[in-house]
């Protein structure tokens, strides 16, 4: 017999059972539906939703080196899990990014490899002039800034299992937004990091309210951000409130959606009284704006 034919027969014998087994397996794999946008702008948050007729034993979503285990709720007799993901304008490069979803239902695992393409988004530029000591901090405060960075990094990366946020988020103050997320700032002629939050007009003393229910993971005074409050809303979503005049909560307090957590001010590096709000999603500071305007369905598209 020709050597090639023999090799071919050997291959068929080896792989037929595997192919047959694979076909059989597909038919009993539970149906898990996954919804997510195909594209998202640099710095923009988005959602991933998993739906199943049977209860989930376990779910994990893998995105940009992070593992997200979302809370599951029941809706119309179906099991639904929603996770918030996003990228940070400071560090992300546009391009296709892998999104891996693993779900265990009825003791069986389904793995779905997806892709979200991060597309460039043009953000405006702004030139500002500030006293030079606020742009380049004096040497004596460098240690203080370093310590603050360690604690804020830890707070931004808090994980808790129960999701307490819902969309759209509650607006923290009634005032209009002034500086948008992504703004490229030139301070005293030098390009600085882009603005990774949203500024709201808020005179000194304005009540600042929690954007969702949660737990205060940090409440202290910082060199740049002034009096700051960090609230964990569960499943990797943390809100940050800067330049407060006074605190109305302390670390480890639990808060309700809309609860007053402080009063607006101009503490830290601020040119005038306002509220700076940032939202950390899986440790990335994303654009908060779509989370106040968008519904769950809009953030899945
Ligand atoms: Zn700001």
String of DSSP letters for 174-197: SSPB-SPTT-EEEETTEE-PPP-S
Tell me the CA–centroid distance for residue 183 and ligand 1, in Å: 9
Residue with tokens 């569960």: 234
Tell me the CA–centroid distance for residue 236 and ligand 1, in Å: 21
Tell me the CA–centroid distance for residue 276 and ligand 1, in Å: 4
Tell me the CA–centroid distance for residue 250 and ligand 1, in Å: 22
- Pair of tokens at residue 228: 């700051």
pLDDT at residue number 188? 86
Nearest by Cα to 68 from 86, 52, 55: 86
Cα angle 224-226-232, degrees, rounded to a multiple of 5: 100
Tell me the CA–centroid distance for residue 238 and ligand 1, in Å: 16
Tell me the CA–centroid distance for residue 100 and ligand 1, in Å: 33
Phi and psi, residue 122, nearest 5° = -90, 125
Tell me the CA–centroid distance for residue 184 and ligand 1, in Å: 12
Would you report the helix, strand and coil content of the chain in percent, each value rounded to 5?
Answer: 20, 40, 40
Residues of the chain with pLDDT under 50: 13, 17-25, 27
Tell me the CA–centroid distance for residue 198 and ligand 1, in Å: 6
Nearest by Cα to 293 from 45, 122, 27, 11: 45
Q: Hey, where are the domains in the chain?
A: 37-119, 125-299
Domain range 37-119, its CATH number among 3.20.20.150, 3.40.50.10860, 2.60.40.10, 3.40.1160.10: 2.60.40.10
CATH level 2 (architecture), domain 125-299? Distorted Sandwich (2.70)
**Sequence-ordered list of residues with C-beta below 8 angstroms from that of 101, at least 6 positions apart, any chain:** 32, 34, 48, 50, 59, 60, 61, 62, 111, 112, 114
Tell me the CA–centroid distance for residue 178 and ligand 1, in Å: 9
- Pair of tokens at residue 16: 């037929």
pLDDT at residue number 22? 47
Residue with tokens 């023999």: 6
Nearest by Cα to 107 from 58, 71, 50, 53: 58
Rounded to whole angstroms, the Cα distance separating 88 from 283 reads 9
């Amino acid at each position: 017999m020709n050597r090639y034919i023999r090799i071919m027969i050997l291959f068929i014998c080896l792989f037929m059972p595997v192919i047959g087994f694979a076909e059989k397996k597909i038919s009993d794999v539970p149906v898990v539906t996954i919804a997510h946008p195909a594209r998202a702008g640099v710095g923009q948050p988005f959602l991933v939703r998993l739906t199943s007729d049977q209860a989930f034993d376990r779910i994990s979503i893998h995105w940009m080196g992070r593992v997200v285990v979302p809370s599951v709720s029941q809706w119309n007799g179906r099991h639904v899990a929603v996770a918030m993901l996003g990228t940070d304008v400071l560090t992300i490069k546009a391009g296709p990014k892998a999104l891996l979803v693993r779900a265990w239902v009825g003791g069986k695992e389904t793995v779905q490899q997806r892709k979200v393409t991060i597309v460039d988004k043009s953000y405006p530029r702004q030139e500002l002039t500030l006293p030079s000591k606020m742009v380049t901090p004096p040497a004596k405060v460098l240690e203080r800034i370093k310590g603050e960075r360690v604690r804020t990094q830890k707070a931004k990366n808090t994980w808790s299992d129960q999701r307490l946020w819902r969309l759209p988020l509650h607006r923290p103050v009634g005032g209009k937004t002034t500086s948008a997320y992504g703004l490229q700032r030139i301070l005293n002629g030098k390009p600085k990091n882009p603005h990774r939050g949203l500024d709201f007009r808020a005179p000194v003393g304005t009540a600042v309210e929690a954007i969702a229910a949660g737990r205060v993971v940090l409440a202290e005074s910082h060199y740049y951000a002034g009096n700051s409050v960090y609230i964990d809303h569960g499943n990797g979503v943390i809100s940050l409130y800067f330049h407060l005049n006074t605190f109305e909560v302390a670390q480890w307090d639990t808060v309700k959606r809309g609860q007053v957590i402080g009063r607006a001010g101009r503490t830290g590096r601020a040119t005038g009284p306002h509220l700076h709000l940032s939202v950390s999603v899986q440790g990335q500071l994303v654009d908060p704006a779509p989370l106040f305007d968008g519904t769950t369905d809009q953030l899945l598209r």
